[in-house]
Structure 1
Amino acid sequence: MANRNRNRNRKRKNKELEDKKIKSSKEIKSNKNKEKKLTKATKEVVKTPKEKEAKKENNTPIKEKKKDNIVSKLLTGSFIVLFALPSVYYFTKIAPTHTAQIDKLTNENKVIKKEFETKLSNALKTQKEIEEKKFNDKLKEEIQKSEKLNKELLTKETKITELNKQLKANSTNKQGIEEELKKASQKNEKLKIELLATQTKVTELQEIIKKEAKKKYELQKQIIFLVTKGKELEDKFKALKASTLKQ
């Protein structure tokens, strides 16, 4: 904000100096034009009576010649008093002052302009340095981001390579597993057949066992019967023996 106000004041001051310079230049130019016009008019005024006097010299009386001389002198004196003296005063007193003021304003304007150009150059240099720093920082940030992305990309590519290896290995394993599964299925079928045969044998054995158990049961019954009969016979034999001994 302060820099903006200083720049605004500097511009206003430069404009005032330029306006003063233009005004002084216009005044000098106007005075020079007035001087030229006055000089031209004076020459015409002075020259005209002389020409008339030369033309009418032979025909003009002596009194008229004297009158013309007086008029010419009066006109010349009037010109000197009214125009020549002010012009001399202006060019000896006023014009140098105006010229000095113009030179002073010009020098001040040059100093201000140089100061402004220096500050502008410094400001542009500072701005350029700031922009370069921002650009360098942005470039550094982008480089770091790029390096980070490259690392991530490399990591992902490595991971993809590993996954491809695993997939290839898994494919190989899958083929091996499928072959093993096929073999196992074939073995399972064989086992099913063997199991069925075994179950059949078991059933047959169970039937045989049942038959043997039945035979054993019948045999046990016979053994029990024989034991019972044997005991009865033994008892009868003992009774018979006892009765025989008593006799």
Structure 2
Amino acid sequence: MTVKAVFLDWVNTLVRMEPDRHVLCMETCREFGIEVDPERALRGIYSAEEEVPEGRPLHWSPGADPGAFIRYNDIVLRVAGATIPDGDTTMRMVERAKERFRDIRFLLLDDVHPSLEKLKDRGLAIAVLSNMNRPLKPFMERLGLMALVDFCLVPADVGGRGKPDEPIFLEALRRAGAQPSEAVHVGDESFVDGVGARRAGINPVLIDRSGLFTDFSEYSRIGSLLELPALLDAMP
């Protein structure tokens, strides 16, 4: 297989959040008298992201239907083995989590620059596809990524439809000048990134930085971006 384009997710693929989302979850729960183990909270977050991606606290706004946000929070806490509060308390937790998200920072992961430099040396088109609800370019410029990336896309660039819907992937293919079979998308969520890429005919790669999914076998899995060049070489 000849790869011409590599698309990359943003959070937990190129950057980590500070505080990370499972730490923020633990700290928010503690404010409401609920104790949560951070590693189990991370597993819960991944489960909730797959089942109810529209329920992320970042998506909350006054007047929104609370149902998805309650289901999302319940999944996180159930998987984490923690006490599930009533709906009113859950929504106060969601509002508090969104409030705290305003203060998070994005920190570049150590393997990003050397990995992207290797991919760039191969002449590949490189793009970042994120479901962020604000422009990504200012963050990328601050982290020194724009010289290594050809373009970035967020839902606002494609009519408001992010991953796993096809438009953001199809626009990335158009800009990269690649066919679906010539592209790879790397992300940390098997539904939003993996299923989304497959819907567009793109080859998905799961990046499992936390080592939570060692038994994952649905498609290719890596633990670091440093493994990506060799994986591309090994693709049939």
Using structure 2 for the length normalisation, give the TM-score.
Answer: 0.17
Please identify the structure whose Cα radius of gyration is greater: 1
Name the structure where helix makes up a greater proportion of residues: 1
Using structure 1 for the length normalisation, give the TM-score.
Answer: 0.17
